[in-house]
């Protein structure tokens, strides 16, 4: 019986991917590097640090990773603060409230930086539902490495056999399965070209999930 649900954030709780994409490609233009959509898609689920570490292996970028992170974050924050049409993913707030109301423990495990998570959680008043927040910036390896989910599961009130993960990216699903945790793949229309075939269950809308269904896994 499931006692803990571990949520990814980008593409699952809120769709900040367009803002991230905008920030990255603005930064790529400044750096004068040609990153294809296909290459960028392959980085989904990676932390900003890991993304720039990989890009520095591919392109002649002189700046240090820390400087690259700060510049991208500045572009993102400016866009985030000025973007009025930023909403929670349809149906996810109802699901979160249903799970919380019925005593399910909720943990966030996101590749996003802590400052980004805080911006989202403060904007949408989400702190009240989650017992723990885990950021990918605290781990040297990004998804599909399972470290972030293994740590999140260690914070659960139950063993990992009684946890499930909700993910929307190929790398996120791979990380969940590498951690040995039941994974629900959310087929987000915003997260394109993602392979969710390794997920134990795939849903197209959060209306397909509720406490009764989840607690039965």
What tens digit of pLDDT does each residue of 89-120 get? 999 999 999 999 999 999 999 998 898 899 89
Residues ≥6 apart with Cβ < 8 Å to 101? 211
What tens digit of pLDDT does each residue of 161-195 get? 999 999 999 999 999 999 999 999 999 877 678 99
In three-state form (DSSP H/G/I as H, E/B as E, the rest C), the secondary structure along the chain is CCCEEEECCECCCECCHHHHHHHHHHHHHHHCCCCCHHHHHHCCCCCHHHHHHHHHHHCCCCCCHHHHHHHHHHHHHHHHHHCCCCCECCCHHHHHHHHHHCCCEEEEEECCCHHHHHHHHHHHCCHHHCCEEEEHHHCCCCCCCCHHHHHHHHCCCCCHHHEEEEECCHHHHHHHHHCCCEEEEECCCCCCCCCCCCCCEEECCHHHCCHHHHHCC
What tens digit of pLDDT does each residue of 120-144 get? 999 899 999 999 999 999 999 889 9
- Edge-first strand order for the sheet with 132-135 is 132-135, 105-110, 4-7, 163-167, 182-186, 201-203
166 bridge partner residues? 7, 184
Residue 66 binned pLDDT confidence (cut-offs 50, 70, 90): very high
Residues ≥6 apart with Cβ < 8 Å to 45? 111, 142, 143, 144, 169, 170, 171, 172, 175
Q: CA nearest 68: which of 46, 78, 53?
A: 53
Residue 79 binned pLDDT confidence (cut-offs 50, 70, 90): confident
> How does the average pLDDT of the chain come out, rounded?
93
Quote the pTM value: 0.82
């Amino acid at each position: 019986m499931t006692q803990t649900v571990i949520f990814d954030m980008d593409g699952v709780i809120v769709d900040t991917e367009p803002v991230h994409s905008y920030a990255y490609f603005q930064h790529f233009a400044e750096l004068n590097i040609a990153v294809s959509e296909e290459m960028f898609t392959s980085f989904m689920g990676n932390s900003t640090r890991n993304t720039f570490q990989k890009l520095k292996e591919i392109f002649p970028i002189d700046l240090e990773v820390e400087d690259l992170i700060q510049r991208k974050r500045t572009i993102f924050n400016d866009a985030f603060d000025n973007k009025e049409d930023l909403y929670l993913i349809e149906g996810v707030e109802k699901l979160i409230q249903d799970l919380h109301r019925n005593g399910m423990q909720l943990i966030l495990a996101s590749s996003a930086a802590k400052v980004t998570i805080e911006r989202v959680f403060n904007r949408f008043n989400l702190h009240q539902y989650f017992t723990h927040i885990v950021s990918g910036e605290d781990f040297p390896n990004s998804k599909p490495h399972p470290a972030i989910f293994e740590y999140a599961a260690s914070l659960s009130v139950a063993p990992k056999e009684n946890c499930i993960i909700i993910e929307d990216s190929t790398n996120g699903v791979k990380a969940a399965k590498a951690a040995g945790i039941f994974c629900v793949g959310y087929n987000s229309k915003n997260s394109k070209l993602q392979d969710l075939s390794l997920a134990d269950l795939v849903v197209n809308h959060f209306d397909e999930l509720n406490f009764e269904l989840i607690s039965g896994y």
